[in-house]
Every structure is written in C-alpha cells, then in structure tokens.
Structure 1
Amino acid sequence: MITVALAGNPNTGKTSLFNTMTSSYEYVGNWAGVTVEKKVGTLTSKRGKVIDLPGIYSLSPLSEDEGVASRYLLEESPSILLNVVDASQLERNLHLTVQLLEYGVPVVIALNMIDVAEARGLHIDVRELEEQLGVKVVPVVARSGRGCAELERVMTAEIRQNESRRFDYGPLLEKAISELEAKMPIQMEPKRWLALQFLEGNILVLQQLRKFIDPTWLQSFYDGIEREVRQSTGMRDTRQYIRSQRAAMIDGWLQRAVRETKKDRRMLSERIDDIVTNKVLGIPIFLAFMYLTFKLTFDWIGTPLSDQLDALLNGPVKNGIGSLLDTFGAAEFIKSVILEGIIGGVGGVLVFVPQIFMLFLIISFIEDSGYMARIAAVMDRLMEGVGLNGKAFIPMIIGFGCNVPGIMAARTIEQPKERLLTILLTPLMSCSARLSVYSLFVGTFFKSNQALIVLSLYVLGVVVALLLAKVFSLTIAKSEQSLFVIELPPYRIPQWRTLVRSTWEKGKGFVRKAGTFIFGGSVVIWLLGYTGPGGWNVPMNESFLQAIGSIVAPVLAPLGFGNWQAGAALLTGFLAKEVVVSTMGIIYAAPDGGLSEMISQFFTPLQAFSFMVFILLYVPCLATVGVIRKETGSARWTWFSIGYALAIAYVIALIVYNIGKVLGFH
C-alpha cells in the first residue's frame, strides 16, 4: 500500500485529479483556495491512499491552509509526491517543484491543463523537461481524466526511486547548509531540505529545529547568514537570494523545454477582464449577475417548480397517506404526527428544493467559470476601505451557499486579525437555509418583485458586514496592513457533468437535513404544539409551543412581528434556519389553506420584510456556531459572534420597520 501526497500551487487542478484518481467527489472550483484542509481518498486500484493537500506557492506557510501542507511533510512520510503543475504557468509552478524535489521521496510531475497551454501557443517538450528535472513528467487533463491511467502506472514504477535532487546554491549557502546539517541529530531527516527551509524562514521548520538545537545559536547563525548575503549579493535577505538562484535554474530549463508558437496574442480572458473587473463597471455587473440569479431562482424556473412540488405534497401525497392511515385504522395521534408534524414540517421545507438547487447550480457555474476570483478582485478596493482585502470576500461568497464552508475558507487569509474578522462576519451572508424562509414570504407578499426583494436582502447582508468590518477593524480587532494577491484563472465553459455533480453535492446536504435533522425537529415541535399544561391534543394557542413563543413575543413587538408564532419559529431557527419554515408549517397548519394563505393573515408586507431582515442577521445556526468555535479556538469569540449578530439584527429590523411605517408602507 502506497501513500500519494498531491502537492501544487493553488488552482492547478489537484482536487479534480484527486476525484479522478479516487473515483470520489470533493469540492472543485476554478479559483484559488478550494482545498483548505487535507483530504484522504483511496486509489481506484485499491493499491494505496491519496492525500490532497491545500494549494501552496511555497513550503514556507503564510496562512492556516498552507501550514497544513508544510506540517504534513514534516510529520508524515508519503511514499511518493505527486506534484500537480499548471502547464500554462510553468515558470511560477516550478519554484514549488524544486522544493519538493529536494524533499527526498520519489516525485512524479502531473503536467495538468496541457490543453490550456496548447491553446495559449505553448509547446512543451515533455521528454526534455523530464531530462532537466530528473523525474517523470506525465501530461494530463484532470477535468476530463485524460492521462490519469498513465499517471498511476508511472507512479507505481517510480516508487522505487527515492533520491532527492541536489541543486547548487553557491559557496556561501552551501557552507551554511553543511554547517547546519552537522548540528542536526541523526534522527532528523531530510537534513538538507530542513536546512534550506530554515534559511527560507519556514517557521514550522524553525520550531522543529529548536527542539534539538540551541535556539540562541540558531538565531545567531541565521542573522549571520543574512548579513553575509546582504553584503556579498546586495539582496534583501536569504529568502530572496534562494528564490533568485531557483529562478535562474528554472529559466534555463524552460529555455530548453518550452517553445512559444503564438506570440503577442491577447487572451480572451484578458479581454473579458477589461469589462468585468473594471473599477466602474465591476460592482454593477456583479449586482446584475446576482439579480439574474434570483430571477432564475424565483421568477422563471425555481418558483414554478416549487409550486408544482407543493401541490403534489399537499395534495395527492398528503391525501393518499391520510387515506392509507384511515384504511389501517391508525389512531388520531399517529395521523396527526404524520400529517401535521412530518408532512406539515418536513414537507413545508422540501417544497423549496427546486429553488435551492437552482441557486446552487448558478453558484457552481460562477465557481467553475473563473468568475469567483474576479469578484474578489473587484471587491478589493471596497474591502480595503473597511480594513480587509479582496481575499476575505471569497469566504463570504461561499457563505451564500452555506456559512460553514465559508468560515473554513477563511483559512486562506494570511493575516490572523483579518482571518478572525472574516470568520465573525461570514455568518451575515445569506445562506441557502435562509432561502426557504425568503421563498415563503416573498412568494406570499411580493409576488411581482421576488428577485428584487431577495437581492436587497443579500446586498443588505454584505453592506452590514462591511460596515461592521470597519468598526471591528478600528476597535476589537485592529488589523495590520496586508497585501492582496489573487490569481485570476482563465475563463472556461463549465462542463455539464461537473455542474450537475457540484450542484448535487451542495444540495444533497439540504435534502439530507430535511430527512434527518428537520424530520426530528418537526416531530418535537409538533409534540410541543400538541401538548400543553392542560394535557394532550390541546389547541395550539394553549400548547407548550405557545408558552415558549410568548416569552420572546413582547421583545419582538417593536419589530412588527410580536406574536408568539414568530417568536417560537425564531427560537427553533437557532438549530437550523430551515426549521423556521417547518415550525410555521406546524403552527399554521390548516385543512382549508396552504401555509402562504395562513401567514398572510398574521403578517403585513412590511412586517414580513422586517421578519426576513431579522432572519438574515440574527444568531448563526448551531452548525455555524460549532465551526466558529473550532476555527477561532475561543469560546469568547464564539459567544461574541452570537451576541453581536442578535443585537445588529434587532436594531436593523427595528429601523427597517419604523422607516417603512413613516413612508406609509404596511
């Protein structure tokens, strides 16, 4: 059994290759930062396992996700390193390749995106490149699987080769490397690689060396080398000198192995970027794209399908199950729990599945097309003004699907304070779970402007997050100045197979939650509505659910929805935002009308909008709170995220409701 570690720059197709080699599916996107922790899979041949490491530009970690890759190489011992290289960006990618070749285990190069390189007019002589690097190079196209079978065959053959490459860094550094190697105990391997990483400033290697070598000596040794490098080369530091030496080597390799067949040809991606990343047009284009997204989700495709599913569940399905229960002579208690608790609760959420999947389909299109990175670039100027940079907007965009992976994506942010701010603010992004609440209310009160109303909520979440970022960056989490660098991948037309699979992987969590978490929650909520101080089968307004909702109802009255029904739904919504809809489905259950018809008797359009604003901003769901605790490692920041969100939701809903009343809305 072998262990294959996939390593490479961000957005080189490592995860796509991982999926092909393991016949599994992990999150794939045409933008940097998709993988934020290592993932493990089994080769389709069952001959070993594959480790998909986060994308890195260097083994010296700057961010949490880069630290995962470096720590793995320090603590584990893979059988072989599979270096995934973007064939269209060879010069930049080979800097990491050199560091991997020095590591001391067999290396195979997966020359990915060879089709993109050919389209750009780059002819790569694979045999010559192999000769220069001293390892096997296999051209592949990970998205389609081309070359992957050959890649596995080559890896198996190369597993017996275990010599590291030795590159000459000149007399000054070679002397320093030898001196440091001599200080290392026998158990420390690979010594030369560790010495080079130390000289490059790898903090994880420094921590490892301090366990065996006097820290004072190490610091003095490092400072001495830095002085000598500056004096003899005129360069800023040792890291810059090492990089310049590698750049010279790489330039020599590429001159022999790469030939340009098309010169001075402007890429289509660059021509599109002139428009979509324009400092004036960029944000309006993004807003227009979001508006189109909600038109498709609510007006054109999603809502009509949801209406048909609603008619099916509350018509033939509910009537059929009711008739079947009557046939078997089921007790009224059983009939009530199934028809009102399960179908009323779970079914009330499931009717929004078409809209959820439509939204995820469009998000998957944004990711795979390459537009995701452009959004971050467009938002950088705005983000910089509030104490963050454009990279922080990527976790927020991911949060539109689900806040949990959005918060985890903050690991790609190098500056700790910026990462903390991003974690705290990402829950303000309107996730797909809230979409079921919006769908219910906009379909009831704003039928002619559904897309516009939902867009306003998404924009409100972003605006509030940016304003709070400014406040937090000036007070509780003052950030250091950071540099925004993001790779803009080439645009590509997403494959339908990729889109469908990505949409299903995102959406199945919603369906699974409906069949498990919301199912159990609906039964408990129904039971609270079915029982009360007076016993069983009591009227809903005499139930335990009414008593619970009545506790918070007076506090919510200034916001326009001070009834116990809304209070109960909001309390249960802490578990998961979809439970708000299932709770309302149980509370407002009526044989003569659907949920939309019933809530129209308890809310006005203004109250409905105020309620949606509160849902948008109030406390994160239980799963999000859990991941905030894990990512921050702090109970204090976790409680802060709950408290500030609740306060902000209350204040903004109060402002919205009172402005609406002043303007004459109702």
Structure 2
Amino acid sequence: MSAIALVGNPNTGKTSLFNTLTASYEYVGNWAGVTVEKKIGSLKNGAGKLIDLPGIYSLHPLSRDEGVAAQYLIEESPEALINIVDASQLERNLLLTLQLLEYGKPTVLGLNMIDVATARGIHVNSEVLQDRLGIPVLPLVARTGKGCKEILSLLGQSADIPPVRFKLHYGEIAEAAITSIELELQPMKDLPNHRWIALQLMEQNPVVLDFLKSRMDIRKLVKLGDACQSELQRKNLALTLPQWLRSVRMDYIRSLCLEVLDRADQKPHNLTERLDALLTHRFWGLPLFIFIMYALFKTTFDWVGGPLSDLVDGLISGPISEGANSLLGFLGASNFTHALIVDGIIAGVGGVIVFVPQIFILFLIISFLEDSGYMARVCLLMDSTMERMGLNGKAFIPFIIGFGCNVPAIMAARSIEQPKDRMLTTLLMPLMSCSARLPVYALFAAVFFPERQAFAVLSMYVLGIVFALILCKIFSWLLFKNESSVFMIELPPYRMPQIKTLSRSTWEKGKGFLRKAGTIILAGSVIIWLVSYAGPGGFDVAMDDSYLAKFGGLIAPLLAPLGFGTWQAGSTLVPGFLAKEVVVSTMNIIYHAPDTTGLENQISQVFTPLSAISFMIFILLYIPCLATVGVIKKETNSWKWTFFSMGYCLVLAYTVSFLVFQSGKLFGWS
C-alpha cells in the first residue's frame, strides 16, 4: 500500500487535515534509532497510508522531532507529499515548500486557512502559485473540512499527480558544486534525488551527513562544499554556503509572493492584538492565567464535574451494585465469587470510574485553551520565570500536557531544541499532577475541604509546578552548569475551536483513563482484593489478618512520621506504582466502601486534615508510575537517569510530607 507523507510548519492545521483525511487514528510507532513519534492513518478512500510528520520550519533540524522529517525523506520513499501551508503566512511557509520540491517526489500544496487570510484582507492567487511552482495547489479550510474532498480525490489517483519539475538556480558557483557532488553520488542508486542530497549536504544538515557517513566516505563531498565556500568568499560574498542557499530561496519566495499575494486590503490582527494586550500583559497576564486555572478547577469539581460524578456514583452504588447482588444470588454464586465481583471488581473499578466526568471536563477545558491559541501565550508569560530557573517557556507546553498524562508529556519534550532543556523537562515531568492522581485529590478534598475543594486540588497542581521550578534551578546548577537555553515559539492568532476538534481531542486525552479502568485498574483491583481476602490463616479472613495487612504493616512504621502510618495507607502506595488510580480502588476494597460516600466516611475517621494534606503531597511527589518510568528510560536511553528520577521523587515526597506534617503538629494543627 502506498505511503503519502504530510509535511508542514507548526500551526498550519496539519493535524486537522490528518484527522479529516484518515478514517481514524490507527497506531503510533517510532522511527528506527530515533525516539520520535510518528502517526499513521489509512486514507478514507483506501488509497494508502498517510504519514503525519512533526511540524517543522525547515528540513535543517533544530530539535529531535524536526530531524524526523529529514530522516524519513532520506530513508523512506513516499509515493507523494502533501505540503500544507498557512495562506495567511505564505511567505514564511514557502521556505519548507521549496526544500520539499527539491526532493523531487509528486507534491500537492494544501493552501490552508484561506478563510483566515481572506478575513485579514489577504488574497492568494492559487492559480498563479500553481503555475509558478508546477504542482497542484488546492485552497482549503482543514478545520471545517472545506477542500479536503478534493485532496482526497487527488490522492486516490496519486499516479496522476504530475512529477515535480521545479528547479531553483543557485548561481554558477553553487551550481558547479552541486553538479560535482551529484557525480560523486551517482553510484549510490538507492538514494533519493541526488540534487536534493547535494543541497542538504551543502547546508550541513546533520541528519543527511550522518546517513551518508554510514554509507560512504564523505570527505571528498565535504571538500567540494568547502571549495564552494572558499569561492564565495573570494567573490567577496560575506555569507556562508548555507546562508547563501537560504538567501537565494528567500529572494525567490519574495518575488513569488509579489505575484501571488494581494495585500491591498490587509488588516491587522485586531482581535488578537486586543486580547494579547490583556492576556500577555507584563503585570496582569500571570494573575489572569491563575484566575483561568482556578475557574477551570471550579468548573471541574464544583459547578459541573461534582454533580455529574455524584450521578455516576449513585448509578454504581445503586442499580449496578444492587443488580449484581441480585443476579449473583439468582445464579447461586459462591460467597467467593460474590465477594470478588461486588467487593473487588465493582467496588475497586467503580471507585475510580466515578471521577471520569471530572477528568473529561478537565481535558475538555484544557483542549479548548490549547486550540484557541491561549496556551502559546502562557508559555510566553512563563518564559521569564522559567528562564531564571534554568529552562525556557517552551518547556511549559509539556508541563501542561502532563496534567493529562506524564507519558505523552515526556514525549512532547522532543520538540524542545536544546538537549539540556529536553533532559530537564523529562526528569521533572513526574512532578506534574496527571489525571491518575486526580481521583486521590478529589476524594480527600471532598472529605476535608468541601467548601474549598477546587482550591485544594488546584494547590496540588501549583505545588507540583513550584517544586519542578525549584528543582530545575538546582539541577541546572549542579548537572547542566555550562549549557544555555534558547526560547523560540510561534504565537498563532486566536481562534474559536471547532466542536468536532474539541470532542476528538478530549476523547484522545481521556480514553487512556478508561482503558486503564478496563485493564490495569481491573487487574489491580482483583489482585488487591485477593490478598485482602486471604491470609496466613487461609481464605475469607478478617482484613486485619490478611496478606495485604501484613504487607502494609511492614511499610507503616516508615510512614508514621508523615501522619499516615497505618497498614491501610501503606498498602495503597505500592500498587500505586503500577497506576496512581489504583490508590483509590485499593482504598475502596480495604474499607469495604459500597460507594464514595461510604469511603469518605471511613477516610474521615482515619485521617485528619493535616495528615490528608501530607498524604496528597506524597501522592503528588512520590515515584512515578510504571509507564512513566518506562518512557523516561526510552527517552533518556539511560538507566542512570531513570533511577535518578525515581530516587529524587521518593526522597522529595518523604521530605516534604515529613516537614508539612511535623511543622503542622508543632503549630498545633490537626
């Protein structure tokens, strides 16, 4: 089946087009030797596979994810390319377009956001653009699906897409070097377009250089590039060879834009500018962000999410539990089977499922903020603070993603350009409060801080960010002393997100939680129930005499200085390493709670407000879950850094919980 690559700048609507053209998000894989994610989907017309490459500005990579595009083009052989560009930012987008045309494969140019360009008074003559570039140019609005059918129809007959005949002349000196390098590459029959390889080599693209080094002796090729550089300097051109090639492309792009763009009626981003004047204000911007986050949590836990969770809780503890009891009684199930299903599976999994409405509402609002363009502004707001701590504002994007799940957040750190910033972000990500911790916060906040539930949960999220910034400063000073950071981010115009896009984004973020409920949490609930049902004395023993109690009793003395030195608390923390959601399901089983209200009553008798705060902080900071540990190992390619991340989290959790509880006792808090 043919492969078609989707390439474009960030924020050009590439993901929207991918979702529209493909039947579904099929699977995720990794490029050989590079830990960068690729997305592959089947085209709706069955014409082949669509490969979504990371958003890039150029084929010369600044970050690991940008290197994926060049690596794909040199190692694979897609049948065609779709280059999606932003019609309102055409001049900037065309630099990548020219590099792709030089690759030589049949190419379709998707002129996206034509509605945004028109609204700003920018008119693009797609026919002239098509004539000058010699490739099909299709205007479209990927967010609404307008024009996507035409692209899909064209891809269905990809053999009819005309071959690229575009050739840009780089001057006599550079052209002579290109020809010489092409001659040297002639024996390499399995390489893509030799002219493209020569240009990428002359631009010193590290991905192409590494690939050629593994296949041949490139010293002669490098000498040819150096000779071209010397000849340029002899002609008194104060440009390096890569700068010369870029300047020729930019001159062509400017002349092309004069022909195809009509800016006579161009308007400024009035709405964007007015909103930015307020939302990115040097004094008011950060307080407004904190207020928006507070409103987010208030909506999640009080205004909307709380009542919905109560409805789910009533459904599980009422019709579902009662129906299961009646059905098992009618079938004559044994006491063991009855207890396993009702006390183990329904109580364990149900105790976590009740928080699903809150989690999905949280993801819905975060998706809205992301799609609207506001989150890019938050990174800008946070840059000065994060720079003082040793990171740049771009690292704040993975931190925000970490509120959903630490695993994709760590993978998102690949887009950060500097190795130091990538490593720091990866190591600090476990401190972000993922959705798995949310049920624990919500449970304890509802018991001990019912009037300030949103504030209590928000405090845990803020506390994670605060500790991440403090440790970032310490790690930067101790571990990455001589490395600097560079911040570069694009601020897209504000847009009203589409309902379809929001719903899909929310589902993609939240379905992992549901998948865990049907796998890890289900399996964990059964195992926890079994070790609570059995003990040295046999089966169906008292909970205090079970294997679970014995095991928790071994850990309890270590937790006593933290305020929760009971075997029940100790028993929840170890399975929490598999998945943090299992903490709540374990509590449901231990306390034989038929519903959330019953569990809340039990917890209120075992914990105090002070010990509850200590426990929540410990859950926030202690060892990341197994999946997060796995992805840290994968991204760092080092057991040393993996064990370091686990170790510092555990030490930090114990230290902070100890100080909070003991200080509270000293001041007479309870």
| CA apart distance, 1:166 | 1.2
Query: Is 1:599 the equivalent of 2:603?
Result: yes
- Shift in CA distance, 233/490, structure 1 to aligned 2, threshold 3 Å: farther
Distance 2:136 2:79 in 1: 15
| CA apart distance, 1:199 | 1.1
Distance 1:638 1:551 in 2: 26
CA deviations on 1:202-227 (whole Å, 9 max, x unpaired) are: 01111233345534434443333333
- Name the SS for the 1:78 alignment partner: coil
Q: Structure 1 counterpart of 2:291, which letter? A: A
| CA apart distance, 1:651 | 0.9
> In structure 2, which of residues 562, 566, 585 is the aligned counterpart of residue 563 of structure 1?
566
When structure 1 is superposed on structure 2, of 48-57 and 268-277 the one drifting more is 268-277
Contact 1:184 1:213 in 2 (8 A): no
Query: Is 1:428 the equivalent of 2:431?
Result: yes
> In structure 2, which of residues 634, 637, 641 is the aligned counterpart of residue 630 of structure 1?
634
- Shift in CA distance, 237/49, structure 1 to aligned 2, threshold 3 Å: same
> In structure 2, which of residues 195, 200, 203 is the aligned counterpart of residue 200 of structure 1?
203
Query: Is 1:394 the equivalent of 2:405?
Result: no
Q: Which residue of 2 aligns with 1:149?
A: 149
> In structure 2, which of residues 489, 492, 501 is the aligned counterpart of residue 489 of structure 1?
492
CA deviations on 1:433-477 (whole Å, 9 max, x unpaired) are: 100101110011100001111111111100100111111111123
Distance 1:330 1:409 in 2: 49
Query: Is 1:172 the equivalent of 2:173?
Result: yes
Q: Structure 2 counterpart of 1:636, which letter? A: K
Contact 1:2 1:79 in 2 (8 A): yes
Contact 2:402 2:432 in 1 (8 A): yes
| CA apart distance, 1:590 | 4.6
Q: Structure 1 counterpart of 2:97, which letter? A: T
Distance 1:614 1:426 in 2: 16
- Shift in CA distance, 231/278, structure 1 to aligned 2, threshold 3 Å: farther
| CA apart distance, 1:376 | 1.0
Q: Which residue of 2 aligns with 1:246?
A: 249
Contact 1:408 1:631 in 2 (8 A): yes
Contact 2:228 2:241 in 1 (8 A): yes
| CA apart distance, 1:507 | 1.5
Q: Which residue of 1 aligns with 2:665?
A: 661
| CA apart distance, 1:232 | 2.9
Distance 1:590 1:401 in 2: 27
Matched ranges for 1:261-410 at <5 A = 261-263=264-266, 265-410=268-413
Contact 2:120 2:269 in 1 (8 A): no
Q: Structure 1 counterpart of 2:450, which letter? A: K
> In structure 2, which of residues 528, 532, 537 is the aligned counterpart of residue 525 of structure 1?
528
| CA apart distance, 1:512 | 1.8
Q: Which residue of 2 aligns with 1:98?
A: 98
Contact 1:417 1:478 in 2 (8 A): no
> In structure 2, which of residues 579, 582, 585 is the aligned counterpart of residue 582 of structure 1?
585
When structure 1 is superposed on structure 2, of 627-636 and 91-100 the one drifting more is 627-636
Distance 1:591 1:26 in 2: 39
| CA apart distance, 1:546 | 0.7
Contact 2:94 2:253 in 1 (8 A): yes
- Normalised by the size of structure 1, how large is the TM-score? 0.96
When structure 1 is superposed on structure 2, of 349-358 and 577-586 the one drifting more is 349-358
Unaligned runs of 5+ in 1: 28-34
Q: Structure 2 counterpart of 1:519, which letter? A: L
- Shift in CA distance, 346/212, structure 1 to aligned 2, threshold 3 Å: closer
Q: Which residue of 1 aligns with 2:30?
A: none
- Name the SS for the 1:295 alignment partner: helix
Contact 1:418 1:479 in 2 (8 A): no
> In structure 2, which of residues 618, 624, 636 is the aligned counterpart of residue 614 of structure 1?
618
When structure 1 is superposed on structure 2, of 395-404 and 592-601 the one drifting more is 592-601
CA deviations on 1:47-79 (whole Å, 9 max, x unpaired) are: 111111111111111211111111110011111
Distance 2:25 2:306 in 1: 29
Q: Structure 2 counterpart of 1:363, which letter? A: I
- Name the SS for the 1:204 alignment partner: helix
Contact 1:113 1:142 in 2 (8 A): yes
- Name the SS for the 1:385 alignment partner: helix
Q: Structure 1 counterpart of 2:613, which letter? A: F
- Shift in CA distance, 361/616, structure 1 to aligned 2, threshold 3 Å: same
| CA apart distance, 1:573 | 0.3
CA deviations on 1:263-293 (whole Å, 9 max, x unpaired) are: 4534311221121112222221111111001
Query: Is 1:235 the equivalent of 2:235?
Result: no
Distance 1:23 1:211 in 2: 38
Distance 1:236 1:659 in 2: 63
- Shift in CA distance, 392/411, structure 1 to aligned 2, threshold 3 Å: same
Distance 2:369 2:511 in 1: 19
| CA apart distance, 1:509 | 1.6
CA deviations on 1:210-250 (whole Å, 9 max, x unpaired) are: 34553443444333333333453543422221111111101
Q: Which residue of 2 aligns with 1:40?
A: 40
Q: Structure 2 counterpart of 1:633, which letter? A: N
- Name the SS for the 1:594 alignment partner: helix
Contact 2:398 2:409 in 1 (8 A): yes
Unaligned runs of 5+ in 2: 28-34
When structure 1 is superposed on structure 2, of 490-499 and 244-253 the one drifting more is 490-499
- Normalised by the size of structure 2, how large is the TM-score? 0.95
Contact 1:17 1:143 in 2 (8 A): yes
- Name the SS for the 1:600 alignment partner: helix
| CA apart distance, 1:256 | 0.7
Q: Structure 1 counterpart of 2:611, which letter? A: Q
What is the root-mean-square deviation in Å for CA atoms of aligned residues?
Answer: 1.8
Distance 2:318 2:216 in 1: 75
Contact 2:121 2:267 in 1 (8 A): no
CA deviations on 1:505-549 (whole Å, 9 max, x unpaired) are: 221221121122111110100000000111111111111101111
- Name the SS for the 1:573 alignment partner: helix
Q: Structure 2 counterpart of 1:221, which letter? A: L
- Name the SS for the 2:658 alignment partner: helix
- Shift in CA distance, 479/290, structure 1 to aligned 2, threshold 3 Å: farther
Distance 1:450 1:661 in 2: 23
Aligned residues: 659
Q: Structure 2 counterpart of 1:167, which letter? A: L
Distance 1:412 1:565 in 2: 42
Q: Structure 2 counterpart of 1:607, which letter? A: S
Contact 2:82 2:107 in 1 (8 A): yes
Matched ranges for 1:433-448 at <5 A = 433-448=436-451
